[in-house]
Amino acid sequence: MADRNPLPTADVLIEVGDRIVLVRRMHLPPGWAIPGGFVEVGETVEAAAVREALEETGLRVTLTALLGVYSNPARDPRHHTISTVYVGRAEGAPLGGDDAAEARLFSEADLPSPLAFDHAMILSDYFRFKKTGKRPL
């Protein structure tokens, strides 16, 4: 792995009304996740976030904020990834697609379990950001 670079990914916390969309992963590692995925060659991180959101939830997202960048080498057991995480808004009912077995709306009080990757920490950062306006460092 010493000769490989980290892989860029993009995730988006999709707000629909006062809830957020999470997807149940179809592939390993299992669990519920923030919609997102790998940035393709020639694609901006913002475009990847919008594309992945549409592929996994069927929702057309407008990005509204940058939450943060998450780069812990252990965040994804498959590869070292660096994720740029956005907040976005959409309307409608999410429908699982691509590699998402299911997509549903949740509030902070009813988050599903288990959460994949480091998404419990990202969700905690998101809910703190919504309450205080402070982004993680």
Task: Give the separation between CA 33 and CA 23, rounded to whole angstroms.
Answer: 5
- Is 108 noted as a catalytic residue in this protein? no
Q: Are strands 81-89 and 7-16 parallel, antiparallel or unpaired?
A: parallel
Active-site residue among 43, 55, 102, 108?
A: 102
Catalytic residues: 102
